[in-house]
Amino acid sequence: MPTIIRPAQPADAPGIALVHTWSWQETYRDLIPDDLLDRMTSEEARERRETGWARTTSAGKTLVYVADQGGQIVAFASAGAPRDHPGYDTELYTLYSLRRVQGHGLGRALLQTVARATGAAGANNMALWVLSSNPTRQWYARQGATEAGEKTEDGLHEIRMVWNDLSSLTAAH
């Protein structure tokens, strides 16, 4: 089934929230405490995420892209102004996909789309936080990110991954 990478619309909020919640269940089990994961993936959390994604996509201040397979959101990414990455122009806030579509190039396509969009808006570099124990950390490194700092917050150890030159992401692979 063909997949379309496109800007998210407010009507995509339920699909984004579902992917957000399910991907947390699929990715973070055994990486973060069960009680935290259960709170972050409960039905109430999914509803809060749906409301939040509807607000975010309506406001237009954050770039949000979805991978749409036949009308179903299977992955998404978002980026915007850096929250705690001094010296970086943009932050990759989220990049999540359902496990069943991982390994098909959707994450790379979303990452490249975000890099092109933020680059077109004037960004030269990008950063994100990833759990140190998350296997996705190695995936980001394969996409050209390097480690540039760390923090521990609420008992979770995170690594800052950065692209010092967004053009490395937007070049064809």
Q: What is the mean pLDDT of residues 15-28?
A: 78
pLDDT tens-digit series, residues 57-104: 999 899 999 999 999 999 999 999 999 999 999 999 999 998 888 888
Distance, in Å, from the CA atom of 58 to the CA atom of 166, rounded to the nearest integer, reads 26
The beta-strand segments (E) located in the chain are: 3-7, 63-69, 72-80, 90-97, 126-131, 146-153, 156-163
Domain tally, the chain: 1
Q: What is the DSSP letter of 12?
A: G
Beta carbons of 33 and 40 less than 8 angstroms apart: no
Give the separation between CA 41 and CA 39, rounded to whole angstroms: 6
- Determine the residue type at 91: E
Residue 105 CA to residue 101 CA, distance in Å, equals 8
pTM for the model stands at: 0.88
Q: What percent of the chain has pLDDT over 70?
A: 87
Residue 23 tokens, joined: 């991907």
pLDDT at 69: 93
Which tokens sit at 15?
A: 């699909």
Alpha-carbon radius of gyration of the chain: 15
**116, burial (CB in 10 Å: exposed 0-12, middle 13-18, buried 19+):** middle
Sort residue 134 into left (φ over 0), alpha (ψ -120 to 50) or beta: beta
Instruction: Output the pLDDT for position 34.
Output: 63
Q: How confident is the model at residue 43 (pLDDT cuts 50, 70, 90)?
A: confident
Average pLDDT of every residue of the chain: 88
Greater model confidence, 11 or 153: 11
Domain residue limits at 129:
3-170
Predicted confidence at residue 173, as pLDDT, reads 47
| For residues 18-39, average pLDDT | 69
At residue 68's C-alpha, the angle toward residues 125 and 169, to 5°, is 20
Q: How confident is the model at residue 32 (pLDDT cuts 50, 70, 90)?
A: low
CATH at residue 132: 3.40.630.30
Ramachandran area for residue 37 (φ above 0: left; ψ -120 to 50: alpha; else beta): alpha
What does the pLDDT read at residue 2? Answer: 84
Place of tokens 């979303």: 110
